[in-house]
Amino acid sequence: MSTVEESIDVEVPVRVVYDQWATFEDFPQFMEGVEEVRQLDEHHAHWRTKIAGLAREFDTEIVERVPEERVAWRTTGESVKHTGTVDFEPLGTTRTRVTMTMAFQPTGFAEKAADKLGVLDRQVRGDLRRFKRFVEGRDAGTDPQSASESG
């Protein structure tokens, strides 16, 4: 299993950052390759992704949720295997450090090759940068659509 950990500091209070992250339906606006996330109930979501031309659908289960501190999940079923956590650390009253840790079990030649090339690391880093622009734009009352652009 491959693991990646990335952090980013955002100029937004921890409560705003946590609340935005917990709004899973917004993930396609800042997560590259995520086409849809549909909240099924308090602890489950259905994902539709297309990464490097590979379309996947899978379900996740929230295994830990501590408001303003942490969200942890794992996939359910057999098709996609990964777990993750996002930790939120207040850095004063208007700044937050977001740390994402993901463990992923690549299957098949393409996923194993992408893993060796560091694709997941770059994707997580890019998703966090886009999340930063997205949440800072939201907090400032600007149009969040411009934050969803790649970068």
Residue 40 lies inside a defined structural domain of this protein: no
Label residue 85 exposed, middle or buried (CB < 10 Å: 0-12, 13-18, 19+): middle
Per-residue pLDDT at 20 exceeds 70: yes
The token pair at 147 is 């934050």
Residues 6+ apart with CB under 8 A from 92: none
Residue 89 lies in a domain: yes
Considering the domain boundaries, does residue 146 fall inside one? no
What is the per-residue pLDDT for 116?
74
Residue 151 lies in a domain: no
Question: Does any domain span residue 16?
Answer: yes
Expressed as residue numbers, the domain containing 122 is 2-22+62-141
Give the domain CATH number at 90: 3.30.530.20
Instruction: Tally the domains of the chain.
Output: 1
Please check the confidence at residue 127 and state whether its pLDDT lies above 90.
yes
Structural domain contains residue 29: no
Least confident of 14-18, 46-50, 53-57, 147-151: 147-151
Q: Does residue 68 fall inside a structural domain? A: yes
Q: Is residue 49 part of a domain?
A: no
Rg (CA), the chain: 15
Average per-residue pLDDT for the chain = 86
